[in-house]
Structure 1
Amino acid sequence: MEIITVCGMGFGTSLMLKMTVDEILEQVGIKAEVSALDAGSAKGRNADLMITSADLESALEGVEANKIFIDNLTDADEVKQKLLHYLNKVSK
């Protein structure tokens, strides 16, 4: 599984989100390749899932990937809840 965390510039927020996602995946024992990218680069990549802030939703319109939009990027519980919901949905 390939997961891309996305922010406007490709560092900072997306790296913080990547570390959170890596930690969650380790906790639940799921292996995935997680990359941090800027919105422009993410548009050209094929991924199973993109995770980004809710304010970048319009920037990723038309991108063919499942997406999770996070309202509060510092809320690890929100990230975990939405990521686990997605993972449970695709594993069925």
Structure 2
Amino acid sequence: MLRIATVCGVGMGTSLLLKMNVQDVCRQLGVEAEVEHMDVTQAKGARVDVIIASASLAADLGDVGKPVLPIRNFMNKDEIRQQLQQFLTSRASS
């Protein structure tokens, strides 16, 4: 099972919205995933496979030892799908 963190500055509104869209995309892709929403500080120590955050917050996360997928528009499921598919493809080839 894929563990995903969705991240915003405070870990409440935007990350929760992103979480719901990521869950929808995972279902569409047939990917079994556990998605948690959190703030930047929590994400730095989270035990997840990948972090999905706004492009502006991706830089704030720095080197967290796991992939960070930057999203420009949290409502754009096509963008989320594209980022997740690229991640899953690179993970499968590793």
TM-score (norm 2): 0.90
Contact 1:46–1:65 (8 Å) recurs in 2:
no
Give the aligned residue type for 2:43: A
- Unmatched 5+ residue regions in structure 2? none
- Residue aligning to 1:13: 14
Contact 1:46–1:64 (8 Å) recurs in 2:
no
After superposition, residues 32-47 of structure 1 pair within 5 angstroms as 32-47=33-48
Q: Report the aligned-residue RMSD.
A: 1.1
Deviation at 1:28, TM superposition (A): 1.6
| Corresponding residue pairs, total | 92
- Residue aligning to 1:83: 84
Structure 1 stretches of at least 4 aligned residues deviating more than 6 Å after TM superposition: none
Give the aligned residue type for 2:13: G
TM-score (norm 1): 0.92
Deviation at 1:74, TM superposition (A): 2.1
- Unmatched 5+ residue regions in structure 1? none
